[in-house]
Amino acid sequence: MITPREHVERTPIGDGVRLCASCIPRGRCRLGISGLGLDAEGVARFRLVCDAGHEGGPGVAHGGWTASVLDEMLGSVALLHKRLTVTKSLTVEFLRPVPIDQPLLGRSWNDRIEGRHWHNVGEVTLAATGALLGRATGVFSERDPDHFQRHKDWLATQIGKAAD
């Protein structure tokens, strides 16, 4: 069986972020995230732009975009340490409307690790001024690479039960 590190290393990178399955064919994150890596303090840094494809109210991002970006940023913390985690919980604060087509910055970091649970934190700011637009805290559960096969097996059992 491959290790979590090998699993992460085999996942393609586009613009500095490990790509989710649906973005691998296009070679870049559809949410408009570019990764800048970990800084000296272990904080993951990102450039972000919300394009008009995620416009909610006029001129501003749909809240789902902001939540997704924070999920991705907080979820990337363990990936940057070559560990595989999935989101167990995510709490998002929408502090200001997020403008579309404006350069934004993202930061995410680990606050503490309890057993297999990574407690991560992150925020989105306006690049021009540093104004805080949104932030999140989340718990990310460390998994083995068989997590996705385990899901398929579980789903097959569920579908089997439904067919009975």
Contact 75, 140 (CB under 8 A): yes
Q: What is the dihedral of CA 17, 33, 152, 80, to 10 degrees?
A: 30
Applying CB under 6 A, the residues found at the interface with ligand DCC are 7-8, 11, 18, 20, 71-72, 75, 79, 84, 86-88, 116, 141, 147, 150-151, 154
- Measured from the CB atom, the residue of 87 and 102 that comes closer to ligand DCC is 87
Of 96 and 151, which has the nearer Cβ to ligand DCC? Answer: 151
30 vs 102 by CB, closer to ligand DCC: 30
C-alpha 113/C-alpha 94 separation (Å) is 25
User: What CA–CA distance (Å, rounded) separates 70 from 17?
Assistant: 13
Indicate the residue whose CB is closest to ligand DCC: 75
Q: How far is the CB of 131 from ligand DCC (least distance, A)?
A: 25
Q: What is the DSSP string of 60-93?
A: BB-HHHHHHHHHHHHHHHHHHTT--EEEEEEEEE
> CA quadruple 44, 47, 53, 56: dihedral positive or negative?
positive
Q: How far is CA 16 from CA 3, 27, 46, in A?
A: 22, 11, 9
Our CB check for ligand DCC shows the closer of 8 and 60 to be 8
3-state helix, strand, coil in the chain (%, to 5): 30, 35, 35
Cβ proximity to ligand DCC, 24 vs 128, nearer residue: 24
